[in-house]
Amino acid sequence: MFIGRAACQTIYGALLGRCGGKNPLIVGLLIYIAASIGCAITQSADTLILLRFVQALGSCGGMVAARAMVRDYFSPDETAKIFSMLMLVIGVSPILAPTVGGYVIDYWGWHYIFVVLGAMALLIMFGVIFLLPESKKPNIHMSLMPTPIIRKFWQVFTTPQFIVFGLAGGMASSGLYAYLSGSPFVMMEIFELSEKQYGWIFGLIAAGLITTSQLNNLMLRKYKSENIAKYALMAQALVGLILLILSLTDTLGLYSIVFLIFCFLACQGFVFPNTSALALNPFSNLAGSASALLGSIQLGIGAIASILVSVFHNGSTLPMVGIMAGCAIISFGILLFAPKVVKV
């Protein structure tokens, strides 16, 4: 799923410029709904994996269009505030999902997870069709040939401000994906929580992310986005180090790991909206391409982090917290030296 999302976002970057914002979004939602129905009825693990890739192809439309529309609708001074609002959905959904999913699995079984996802996508599609205004008119002169598309992506990728804040945000987000990948084993196998208890833990942790993403709007009234992101990453790296030390010394208990992960992901509420806004602000005509490339970078690094949690699996908390700590430290290091590379 992560690999599919990372690889397929670049497709929508070109389509958004050529076809406008709504049409590619509707097509993506239709693909997502069809794949969800397939996931709900399949009895094969191999088929499920394939359909999850197709589902990722559909979901990319919403991810790319949302970021691009923020840049289309709002001025650079407002984008960080809007991304704080989007954080409620983009950042919190994968954390709240296990809370709902735990109950769905408990009462109806895992197939119905995809029934719920398909129904949600259907409602969103109706909202897009009937409520969402078009952010940018289709540009029939924009080529969909590989060479000009690659040229646009290269123009975005070689912009120092984009690469610095895109990589910093991507590394920080990878700590979240490492947690999402490793937490089922850590919480339900090591600490022996039930599916419902695991879901409530996710809900509790999500509260920190929700709160800080909204506090970010208040912080932006007094402080610059780059300063907020830098100090939030410093705090996240420190929490990651504490998690790593406690795991290495085998003194990480249930209450301590929940509290520290709560703090770790609370920092993400400040990091995501500011790094995303700073990465996309240099672009207006290339908002779709920039949004797609940003998403590909973030999810690509997230996929690698998720894979590494499995590769280093040893029956302890160390693989998960080690990857989380490493991602936060690297991200902070990028922003620490950013002023030498880019002036915002």
Mean pLDDT value of segment 26-48: 92
Does the structure show a pLDDT above 80 at 77?
no
Does the structure show a pLDDT above 80 at 12?
no
Predicted pLDDT of residue 113: 92
Packing angle, helices 287-311 and 254-280, rounded to 10: 150
Mean pLDDT value of segment 19-23: 70
Rounded Cα gap, residues 50 and 52, in angstroms: 5
Domains of the chain, each with CATH number or no CATH: 2-131+147-339 (1.20.1250.20)
Does the structure show a pLDDT above 90 at 205?
no
Contact by Cβ (8 Å): 186, 317: yes
Rounded Cα gap, residues 299 and 177, in angstroms: 9
Rounded Cα gap, residues 277 and 252, in angstroms: 35
Per-residue tokens: 175? 């700590």
Mean pLDDT value of segment 171-195: 89
Predicted pLDDT of residue 20: 64
SS3 for 219-271 is HCCCCCHHHHHHHHHHHHHHHHHHHHHHHHCCCCCHHHHHHHHHHHHHHHHHH
Instruction: Write the CB contacts of 303 (distance below 8 Å, at least 6 apart in sequence).
Output: 2, 3, 6, 177
Predicted pLDDT of residue 333: 92
Q: What is the pTM of this model?
A: 0.75
Could you read off the pLDDT of 255-272 as tens digits, one per residue? 999 999 999 999 988 998
Apex 189 CA angle, 184 and 194, nearest 5? 75
Predicted pLDDT of residue 216: 84
Does the structure show a pLDDT above 60 at 344?
no
Instruction: Write the CB contacts of 114 (distance below 8 Å, at least 6 apart in sequence).
Output: 36, 37, 39, 40
- Residue 55's pLDDT band (boundaries 50, 70, 90)? very high
Per-residue tokens: 109? 């079984």
Mean pLDDT value of segment 182-187: 90
Does the structure show a pLDDT above 60 at 72?
yes
- DSSP codes joined into one string, 164-187: HHHHHHHHHHHHHHHHHHHHHHII
Does the structure show a pLDDT above 70 at 139?
no
